Amino acid sequence: CDSTRDESGIALYLVDSDAPGVERRDYRLADGARASEISFKGAKGEPLAADGFAAIDRAYAHALVILSAEAVGAMDRALWITRDYLKTRKQFGKTLNEFQVLQHRMADMLTELELARSGMFRALGQLDAPAAERRRAVSACKIQIGKAARFVGAQAIQLHGGIGVTEEYSIGHYFKRLVFIESAFGSTARHTKILAEAIRAEA
């Protein structure tokens, strides 16, 4: 149906997941989350709006902001689990949170978290903005989320020591999820390139 395609040649169709010709392969991601690979072999679908690329672009932005919000929540939880651990674990007769160098590392974690949170809220506020503005805000958000996720996750693991990577302890699972989020919907490096190209185009 050529009439359903936009100028980029993209068209959207609604396909029933149980329709003949739809095949799905379920699998687990590295962080334990579930995912599916879907293929279509002669499956029939109902044509949707003609602005295919614009619809995908909007959906992509919304998905990225949702994922960023999840990352902020995961980092927030990892930070406070780490804080509580440092308040109870003792070395040399003192709790770990009494050592200034560890206090400073916690402060750095909190700083990265709040920068990521701010970027996420800014991107959220730009979801209804013109496409170019929305893309800039979303890429800037993903860059900050990616940097913060790697830093906060790694620091949480290091401050816990060996227990941080055990299957029974939650910090390792938060770290795996944060590493996945950093690479999902375009890595930090990819969004840095996108944002740089957008800035250059405006010059």
Domain boundaries, the chain: 2-47, 53-202
Q: Which of 28, 65, 22 is nearest to 45 (CA)?
A: 22
Q: pTM for the whole thing?
A: 0.85
Amino acid at 142: K
pLDDT of residue 1: 43
pLDDT of residue 138: 96
pLDDT of residue 92: 82
pLDDT of residue 5: 59
CATH 3.40.50.300 for domain 53-202, yes or no, is: no
pLDDT of residue 70: 97
DSSP 30: T
Give the three-state DSSP class for 53. Answer: helix
Range 125-134 contact pairs with CB under 8 angstroms and sequence separation of 24 or more = 127/58, 127/61, 127/62, 127/65, 131/54, 131/57, 132/198, 134/58, 134/61
Which residue ranges of the chain lie beneath pLDDT 70? 1-8, 50, 203
Task: Give the C-alpha separation, 110 to 158, whole Å.
Answer: 15
